[in-house]
Amino acid sequence: MSMPAKGTGTLQGAGGTRRMLRRLLPALSLAVVLVAIYVFNPRAISYFGLNLMLNLAIPIALATIAQMFVITINELDLSIGPYVGFVACVTATWMPGDPLIAAAAILAGIAVYAGVGALIHLRNLPSIVVTLGMSFVWLGVALIIRPTPGGTAPAWLRALVGFHPPLVPFPILAAVVIALAVHVGLMTTSYGAVLRGAGGNAAAIGRAGWSLLRIKVTMFALAGLFGAFAGMMLVGVSTSADANMATGYTLLAIAGVILGGGEFIGGRVSPIGAVLGALTLQLAAVALNFFRLPQWPSLRIPPEWQVGAQGIILILILALRAIINRGRS
């Protein structure tokens, strides 16, 4: 019987530790932000405080999941922000009075998303270029639907967003449901393995008899579906719509996927990590509002620095992940 080489167990143990650290990074980053908020304002970590701070986290989390579907197949969607704004304008303009028109417009948007996936695959076009062009299309259509900010959220959507379950704030409950539902569908089912495999080794998936065209259409359609959910939830929170209200979601969604452990290649994604990344970015932006120094109680950090805080957190997490990966290699 052959004996394991000396030091093999130690190497395997170190590798397991690094993998565990990598998986825990999204949760640890969220915990660090929560602790920082608690230090500066303990009352913010309460039912009411978390509900207030995370009211915009659910639209961001849904947009992040939408981006994650596209990144899973080694593509990138630069139109998710304007698309969310388009759905928001449709929802606030037509859904209260003409729900059938609103539903038809949203379904058409999802169909266009699926068509974009087919176009990228059939013509072998770079997704960055195609989706960048589509971002202007979505923005233009949104401006046609709602040239000026306004509209209103339907009553059922306001009731959903305003739901106050016992013990756990609604944004946290919704985030858990979204993360687990997508995790089960993408990470535990056989077809989910095929979808992820198309990002890891598309040639092997094709040789196994799976249609790469269908896979790409499916993933882009799912991105359109979750982007539509994000737009509707955004209207539920803001109670009105503006064509430019979600333009920043494109970069936030990409950052949320990467912060949550996703990779741009290889089909390596984590739905739970992506949702945690979205929550972290939202809380990082809000955390600056609680920053106070005892020596200068009137000192306030400008809101413009919120984007900088999100960028700093992303850079730190990526640096930590690079250190872990270097140790693994």
pLDDT digits (tens, 9 = 90+) for 269-321: 999 999 999 999 888 877 766 655 454 455 555 656 666 666 776 677 777 77
**pTM for this entry:** 0.90
The CB-based long-range contact list for 213-218 (8 Å cut-off, 24+ gap) reads: 213/118, 213/121, 213/122, 215/73, 216/73, 216/75, 216/117, 216/118, 216/120, 216/121, 217/114, 217/115, 217/117, 217/118, 217/121, 218/114, 218/117
- List the domains of the chain with CATH numbers: 43-328 (1.10.3470)
Identify the three-state secondary structure at position 304.
coil
More confident residue, 26 or 329: 26
How does pLDDT run across 198-208, given as a tens digit for each residue? 998 999 999 99
Which residues have CB under 8 Å from 171's CB, separation 6+? 50, 51, 54, 55, 57, 58
- Lowest-confidence region among 9-23, 111-125, 286-300: 286-300
pLDDT at 263 over 90: no
pLDDT at 137 over 60: yes
